[in-house]
Amino acid sequence: MGRRDAPGLNSAGSWLAAATGGLLLTAGASTLAAPPEVYVGFDPLFSDNIKLASGDERSDIENRLSLRGNYQTDPGRCTAVMDGEVAYSVYAEGTYDPETQVNAGFTGICELASGLSWELDDQLREVSRTSRQGDTPDNRTRKNVFRTGPSYRLRLSDVDFINLSARYENTEVSDENDPDSDRFTGSVAWNHLFAPDLSGGISTSASEVELDTGAEIRNTAVTATFSKRWAKTSVSGSLGVSEIETELGSFQQKSDGVVGDVNFQRSLDAGGTVYLRASRELTDQTSDFDIRFDEFTFQRTDSNTLEATSVETGLEKTLYNGDEVTVAAFANRSDYLESTEQEDQAGIRTSYMRRLSSRLSATAAARYEYLTFESDQSDDEIVGVDLGLIYLASRNLELGARIGRTKRTSDIRLQEYEENWLLLSVDYRLR
């Protein structure tokens, strides 16, 4: 469990769901506007192993000041969602230099004419360089994915539609050792309404990626798509085939495989949600796959292309007495197509928040993760637990304290670490 990920603490931080597609924006749709919210937080963290090192452990205090906000525009021809956080950290003992972290997203769409719209999307994230190390400044880099382009919806009949789209995408990574890219994508999709709540169709897409290393990557895919809604349940997805080709000088490689995705969500009668989301893609390291699936980490290898698979299922439920419980299980696989590297990751995370009074709550969280690395036949296990208290001092002020322990064991000594930590937090809503 991440040291700053717990129920209640920093509860305004819903930027990930909104910025990565948790909200579907449709030009001219009757979506409800959300009033702007702005939060400021201060959460010092004491760690007895701030570098998450296997030896020469150092204690330090990370003093972190953050500003978060979210905003959704009123319905109209143009709609947009903005959500994000900017944080600045100073380390009391100077273990790391002062650093700024940014996690933010913007998604907007405008209806230019009947059936014609233009979309703009920008996602900026702090992402991990490798899953072989813990979450420290040494193992983080900043990734920005910007995309924009038009879409046109052609109505053939009352039940048949053609969707045309073109996108330009630019990816930039702050680490100079990682490639940046320009991506051009076009797609054509036919969709048929079998019923008001059931649709299906065929989609084909082609993209070309130009890396600043000189490599060129071409990707084509043909998939069958479907979508079904019930009163409390929705499911959608796709299944098809894809081919990816890499060219760098005289080097050429071509791979193909089955691709697809599924999104399932069901609202429970007593309150809560059960969900499942999964995706399998032939892609490259400059794509936004690691932003859409935040447990997924691209390993920085000599291979540009990979077969990426991610599955997550979980339960989010509010009990009759107001307590909140979440359980999530996840599994990822990274199969790098130009090398022998393959990584598997599976785990489970749980959290529970107990209402002790109208103002005071207790939290508990646990996480288990198992990782395997094919290149050196190594296995890692990560176990983390923490306990905390949250106090609502006023309508706008929230105070918190958490204490936790994380341990990583590995076949490779340098990847092991143990950490005990204490986090205090002050969270104030400005508006």
Q: How far is CA 168 from CA 146, 183, 246, in A?
A: 8, 6, 19
Q: What are phi and psi of 66, to 5 degrees?
A: -130, 155
* pLDDT of the residue at 1: 54
Cα 350–352–357 angle (5° rounding)? 170
Cα–Cα distance measured from residue 87 to residue 102, given in angstroms and rounded to the nearest whole number: 7
Q: pLDDT tens string for the chain (431 positions)?
A: 567 675 554 443 333 333 333 333 333 344 456 678 999 999 999 999 999 999 889 999 999 999 999 999 888 899 999 999 999 999 999 999 999 999 999 999 999 999 999 999 999 999 999 999 999 999 999 999 999 999 999 999 999 999 999 999 999 999 888 889 999 999 999 999 999 999 999 999 999 999 998 999 999 999 999 999 999 999 999 999 999 999 988 889 999 999 999 999 999 987 899 999 999 999 999 999 999 998 899 987 778 899 999 999 999 998 888 899 999 999 999 999 988 889 999 999 999 999 999 999 999 999 999 999 998 899 999 999 999 999 999 999 999 999 999 999 999 999 999 999 999 999 999 97
C-beta separation of 180 from 152 below 8 A = no
| 3-state SS, residue 50 | coil
Q: Residue 428 and residue 431: Cα distance in Å, rounded?
A: 9
**Which of these CATH numbers, 1.10.3680, 2.10.260, 2.40.170, 3.20.20, describes 15-429?**
2.40.170
Rounded-to-integer distance, Cα 206 and Cα 254, Å: 15
pLDDT at 249: 85
Tell me the one-letter amino acid at 215: A
Residues 335/306, Cβ–Cβ less than 8 Å: yes
Tokens matching residue 165: 């789209």
Q: What is the pTM of this model?
A: 0.88
Which letter does DSSP use for residue 290 in this model?
H
What pLDDT digit, counting tens, does each position of 280-312 carry? 999 999 999 999 998 899 987 778 899 999 999
How far apart (Å, rounded) are the C-alpha atoms in residues 343 and 128? Answer: 15
- Residue found by looking up tokens 């990584």 in the block: 343
Pairwise CA distance, residues 353 & 358, whole Å: 13
Distance, in Å, from the CA atom of 3 to the CA atom of 1, rounded to the nearest integer, reads: 6
Helix, strand, coil share (%) of the chain residues, nearest 5: 5, 65, 30
Q: What are the φ and ψ backbone dihedral angles of 385, each rounded to 5 degrees?
A: -140, 150
Dig out the tokens for 310 from the structure. Answer: 């991610």
